[in-house]
């Protein structure tokens, strides 16, 4: 099978994305490819800790949790055909409560919760490009974890579908996804 050569200045769709067979991880934001590298060990440890806490809580509930690499396709204007989707991201952690959004390749549409863990190579993308993409796509809750500061910033969509910062959680705090207020995750354990 022929592989598509990648030009970082060219716009691609999810149909193009599916034809890249070189095993490199990528995301598409507005059709432009961003190469991804393996995260640092600390990043992975934080991701695993958050995932384990949420996963245990979700046992026997309808919502599902996934961790990267997991494709989240964020179509615009209801266009769900592969050649019309230009936003494909691989968030660190995703919670999806609507099973109709899940298919064999991942998620199509806005997850209920996305967690991104900042690293030097992705911070601009996570804090700017993905922030606005997630807001525009209707991701209800967006967590940004700052490993070096041992903190998590939580953004929630308001009634105007714009993100507002709900809170900043630091050492000794307990964080809860808005949809699961009885789940209390200890910040100290996440960043231990």
Give the pLDDT confidence of 57-81 residue by residue, as tens digits: 999 999 999 999 999 999 998 888 9
Give the pLDDT confidence of 100-141 residue by residue, as tens digits: 999 999 999 999 999 999 987 778 888 999 999 999 999 999
Q: Is residue 78 domain-resident?
A: no
Q: Is residue 116 domain-resident?
A: yes
Domain residue limits at 165: 40-70+89-190
Q: What pTM was computed for the model?
A: 0.92
Q: Is residue 84 domain-resident?
A: no
Q: Is residue 55 domain-resident?
A: yes
Q: How many independent structural domains does the chain possess?
A: 1
SS (H, E, C) the chain: CCCCCCCCCCECCHHHHCCCCCCCEEEEECCEEEEECCCCHHHHHHHHHHHHHHHHHHCCCCCEEEECCCCEECCCCCCCCHHHCCCEECCCEEEECCHHHEECCEEECCCCEEEEECCCCCHHHHHHHHHHHHHHHCCCEEEEEEHHHCEEEEEEECCCCCEEEEEEECCCCEECCCCCCCCCEEHHHHCC
- Return the pLDDT at 121: 76
CATH number of domain containing 58: 3.90.1570.10
Q: Is residue 112 domain-resident?
A: yes
Q: Is residue 10 domain-resident?
A: no
- Return the pLDDT at 3: 46
């Amino acid at each position: 099978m022929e592989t598509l050569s990648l030009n970082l200045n060219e716009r691609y769709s999810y149909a193009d994305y599916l034809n890249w067979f070189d095993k490199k991880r990528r995301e598409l934001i507005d059709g432009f490819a961003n190469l991804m590298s393996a995260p640092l060990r600390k990043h992975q440890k934080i991701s695993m800790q958050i995932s384990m806490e949420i996963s245990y809580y979700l046992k026997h509930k309808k919502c599902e949790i996934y961790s990267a690499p997991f494709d989240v396709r964020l179509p615009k204007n209801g266009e769900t055909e592969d050649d019309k989707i230009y936003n494909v991201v691989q968030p660190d952690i995703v919670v999806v409560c609507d099973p109709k959004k899940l298919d064999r390749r991942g998620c199509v549409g806005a997850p209920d919760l996305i967690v991104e863990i900042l690293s030097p190579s992705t911070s601009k993308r996570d804090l700017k490009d993905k922030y606005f993409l997630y807001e525009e796509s209707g991701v209800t809750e967006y967590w940004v974890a700052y490993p070096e500061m041992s903190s998590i910033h939580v953004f929630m969509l308001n009634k105007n579908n714009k993100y507002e910062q709900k809170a900043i959680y630091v050492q000794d705090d307990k964080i809860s996804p808005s949809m699961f207020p009885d789940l209390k995750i200890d910040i100290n354990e996440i960043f231990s």
